Amino acid sequence: MTFTTASGKGNGPVVGAKASAAGPRPGSPKNKQPGNASARKWAEIGLFVGPALLVFLVFVVYPVISAVRYSFYKWNGVKQFSEAEFVGLDNYRRALFGQGIFKKAYTEPFLTALSHNFEIIALSMAIQLPLALLVALILNRQFRGRTVVRVIIFAPYVLSEVITGVMWFVILDPNGIATRIVEALGLHSPAGGWFEDVHWGFWTMFFVVSWKYLGLAIILFLAGLSGVSKELQEAAAIDGASWWQIQRRINIPLIGPTIRIWAFLSIIGSIQLFDMVWVLNRGGTQGQYSTVASYMMDKGFYRSDWGYGSAIAVIMFLISLVVAIGYMLVILRRDNSTTAKN
Amino acid sequence: MTLKTNSRRPVKGPTPGLWARYRAYLSRTGLSPSASNYFSIGVAIAGVGLTLGPIIYLVLGGFKDLHQYAMNPSGLPDPFLFRNYWGILSTGLFWRQMLNSAFIAIVTTVGVVILGTMAAYPLARYKFKGREVLYGVFVAGLMFPLTVAILPLYLMIHSWGLVGNPFGVILPQIAFALPVTIIIMRPFVAALPKELEEAAFIDGVTRIGYFWRILLPLARPGMVTVGVLAFIGSWNSYLLPLLILAGDPAHMTLPLGVTAFKGQHGSDNTAIMAFTSLSMVPALIFFIFMERRIVEGLTGAVKG
């Protein structure tokens, strides 16, 4: 942030011993505070930030560091961690480059789960994004009941993934209503059941995820569209621009930042997707829509391979970190530089 | 908006193109000005139908028994049977799980809002060495999702004997919600007029007094926004309760209770539908009252 330079200036004496150890600081004797005032200030800072920092360090930072540490060990979680066997990078090797039996038992399921995450990302961008954008553009006008429509479309966002998952589990029961509707139309429902079918299971899961999250995208895009100047659109219309031209040349570019942030959140969410997948039979009975997170929980927690599970967690973290940083550097940088100019 | 363009037909434009002729055609045939409006309404109806349809089906299904469900899965219940709903509402487990969810969500929300605002105040207003580093530590927390930390987190909570205890869920949830809260609250606190603070100090109010008596009431809109997001996050959370509160149904939160109920009543789809419908109700009520706040919070988080 822009405050960085301010923080070091003019308050050198306040930090007392530390500051003088770091060298002479600018600061007239006038604003030199007596020692106990400085101590008081630090006590206040400690009082305000301390609790949050403590909770954050204990429940976020320490477990993340522990996950990295565990990932170098073979450990079943039953005996003391001090007795666990140090295996170096073995857990990572199993997940990524396993050979022979390890390939079948570790590498293949992991890479399958990972590929599912990336398929979800690709499908979100190829299906959810255009669909949500189109709906938002179409709904971006005055009509009776507009507010109600927006509220209803947004409602699934507030339902938990668990409840959404169970709801669709019932609807998409092999003997349920979805099957009957499809068969009444003269079509065949997936042979193995909507979720169990090796080919269709993944698509069914993606449909359910989309049902829950499309509304969020639509609402975010509509909020962005409400900020687009109406004069601009009217001027274009007077000049004879078609509806689609107005959308393509004015509305879509102007809500670009919103779209790009949505895409960012969607990508990160897709990499960490867990709840929905887990509720729907723990990633499918044959792992037909397992994700990295569901695979990690299955191996680490439910099969007590804590070291291996932690390695998967670390890999997942590194992937989301690389993707996030790459996205920010390549795509979001443009937005930030334009806002900085304003 | 675009609708208004219909009333401003560009027929007098320099080159009456295809579009202008189309407009003229629409107005001649009486389709204008609302033809495209009907299209919007059609899309709106489709969206509403796809959203509400499954929910309504679920609620209605809860009023059927298994025989009705098998014979007539798509029609209205005939007659409406209240047995499923009554059975769930009268046993107490549902209420217990709802209370658990409410307790955990409320304590999490209050905790994260207070801790987050407290931390945001010095980060916004005090000048001290290492302030930006400290802020950076919290911001970096955004990069650490719960899924990465969950295995060690579980072991830690287990070793503290907090498995089955709501605070085993509350404390980590507060910690993981802090980064977003501090990121939203810091500019909010920084935007409060500085003169107010100076005037208060001249009147002899201490920093702490200023925080409690002046800053907190003024920062309420921001706190509500942040709190609403934290509340929804906690109410819907699954992974932490799944590990910490599994086992005894009396300790479970609602999402966990739904899966447990589904496991127990494996084949009784109508009972599952009733339970799932009921567990949607609190979230939907909260949503109806807070919809505007939620959108504000989300768009604020996206823009900020």
Report the residue of chain B nearest A56, measured CA to CA: B175
Question: Which residues 6+ apart lie within 8 Å of A101 measured at CB?
Answer: none
- Look at B295 and A154 and tell me if their CB atoms are within 8 Å: yes
Name the helix (H) or strand (E) containing A336.
Answer: helix A333-341
Whether A312 and A295 have beta carbons less than 8 Å apart is answered as yes
B35 in contact with A, Cβ within 8 Å: no
> In this complex, which of A60, A163, A238 lies closest to B279 when CB atoms are compared?
A163
In chain B, domain spans: 1-26, 34-81, 92-303
How many angstroms separate the CA atoms of A296 and B53, rounded? 35
Domains in chain A and their CATH numbers? Answer: 27-64 (no CATH), 90-341 (1.10.3720.10)
Q: Which residue has the higher pLDDT, B56 or A13?
A: B56
Nearest CA-CA partner of B269 in A282, A168, A179: A168
Mutate: best of A158, A168, A312, partner B, most B CBs <10 A:
A158
Mutate: best of B128, B289, B294, partner A, most A CBs <10 A:
B128
Say what the ipTM of the complex is. Answer: 0.82
Largest CA distance in chain B: 80
The DSSP symbol for B213 reads I
B246 in contact with A, Cβ within 8 Å: no
How many angstroms separate the CA atoms of A170 and B62, rounded? 11
The pLDDT assigned to B126 comes to: 81
Question: Which residues 6+ apart lie within 8 Å of B200 measured at CB?
Answer: B209, B210, B214
Nearest CA-CA partner of B126 in A40, A41, A231, A43: A41
Number of Cβ within 10 Å of residue A200's Cβ equals: 18
> In this predicted structure, which of A14-18, A204-208, B212-216, B254-258 has the lowest mean pLDDT?
A14-18
Q: Tell me, what amino acid is at A115? A: S
The pLDDT assigned to A207 comes to: 95
What are the chain B neighbours of A302 within 8 Å (beta carbons)?
A: none
The pLDDT assigned to B272 comes to: 92
The chain-wide mean pLDDT, for chain A, equals: 83
- Cα angle B173-B149-A316, degrees, rounded to a multiple of 5: 125
Helix ranges (DSSP H) in chain B: 18-29, 35-61, 66-71, 83-91, 93-125, 131-140, 146-159, 166-190, 194-202, 207-210, 216-218, 220-236, 239-244, 254-264, 269-303
Distance from CA of A246 to the nearest CA of B (A): 9
Residues 95-114 of B with CB under 8 A from A: none
> In this predicted structure, which of A117-126, A150-159, B23-32, B202-211 has the lowest mean pLDDT?
B23-32
Nearest CA-CA partner of A96 in A85, A82, A106, A84: A106
Could you tell me which residues are beta bridge partners of residue A85?
Answer: A74
- Look at B122 and A138 and tell me if their CB atoms are within 8 Å: no
Mutate: best of A140, A160, A234, A327, partner B, most B CBs <10 A:
A160
What is the band of A22 on the pLDDT scale with cuts at 50, 70, 90? very low
The pLDDT assigned to B274 comes to: 93
Q: pLDDT digits over A300-340, tens only?
A: 888 888 999 999 999 999 998 898 888 888 877 777 665 44
What are the chain A neighbours of B244 within 8 Å (beta carbons)?
A: none
Residue linked to tokens 């049977």: B81
Task: Tell me the fold of B92-303.
Answer: MetI-like fold (1.10.3720)
- Look at A317 and B144 and tell me if their CB atoms are within 8 Å: yes
How many angstroms separate the CA atoms of B76 and A65, rounded? 55
What are the chain B neighbours of A225 within 8 Å (beta carbons)?
A: none
B141 in contact with A, Cβ within 8 Å: yes
How many angstroms separate the CA atoms of A119 and A90, rounded? 27
Distance from CA of B255 to the nearest CA of A (A): 6
Distance from CA of A28 to the nearest CA of B (A): 16
B208 in contact with A, Cβ within 8 Å: yes
The pLDDT assigned to A173 comes to: 87
Q: Is the C-alpha dihedral spanning B15, B17, B21, B26 positive or negative?
A: negative
Nearest CA-CA partner of A316 in A70, A162, A117, A87: A117
- Look at B51 and A153 and tell me if their CB atoms are within 8 Å: yes
What is the band of A189 on the pLDDT scale with cuts at 50, 70, 90? confident
Instruction: Tell me the three state secondary structure of residue A74.
Output: strand
- Look at B44 and A149 and tell me if their CB atoms are within 8 Å: yes
Q: What percent of chain A has pLDDT over 90?
A: 37
Instruction: From first to last of the 304 residues of chain B, give the pLDDT tens digit.
Output: 444 444 444 444 445 566 666 666 555 544 444 556 778 888 889 999 999 999 999 999 999 888 888 888 778 888 888 988 998 999 889 999 999 999 999 999 999 999 999 999 999 888 888 888 888 888 888 778 898 899 999 999 999 999 989 999 999 999 999 998 998 888 888 888 888 888 888 888 888 888 888 888 888 888 888 899 899 999 999 999 999 998 888 999 999 999 999 988 877 889 999 999 999 999 899 888 888 888 887 776 665 4
Nearest CA-CA partner of B146 in B233, B239, B254, B235: B239
Could you tell me which residues are beta bridge partners of residue A200?
Answer: none
Question: Which residues 6+ apart lie within 8 Å of A289 measured at CB?
Answer: A116, A201, A202, A205, A206, A277, A280, A283
pLDDT at A88 over 50: yes
What are the chain B neighbours of A145 within 8 Å (beta carbons)?
A: 44
> In this complex, which of A77, A149, A261 lies closest to B47 when CB atoms are compared?
A149
How many angstroms separate the CA atoms of A308 and A80, rounded? 16
Whether B19 and B31 have beta carbons less than 8 Å apart is answered as no
How many angstroms separate the CA atoms of B291 and A155, rounded? 9
Mutate: best of B150, B162, B197, B259, partner A, most A CBs <10 A:
B150
Whether B145 and A320 have beta carbons less than 8 Å apart is answered as yes
Instruction: Tell me the three state secondary structure of residue A86.
Output: strand
What are the chain A neighbours of B258 within 8 Å (beta carbons)?
A: 162-163, 166
Whether A77 and A263 have beta carbons less than 8 Å apart is answered as no
The pLDDT assigned to A7 comes to: 37
What are the chain B neighbours of A54 within 8 Å (beta carbons)?
A: none
Cis peptide before B33 (omega within 30 of 0): yes
Average pLDDT over residues A278-289: 87
Could you tell me which residues are beta bridge partners of residue A86?
Answer: A73
Distance from CA of A199 to the nearest CA of B (A): 24
Nearest CA-CA partner of B255 in B242, B274, B271: B242
The pLDDT assigned to B17 comes to: 67
Instruction: Tell me the three state secondary structure of residue A73.
Output: strand
How many angstroms separate the CA atoms of A7 and A19, rounded? 13
Both tokens of A80, joined, read: 């003391």
The pLDDT assigned to B130 comes to: 83
> In this predicted structure, which of A172-181, A238-247, B3-12, B100-109 has the lowest mean pLDDT?
B3-12
The pLDDT assigned to B302 comes to: 61
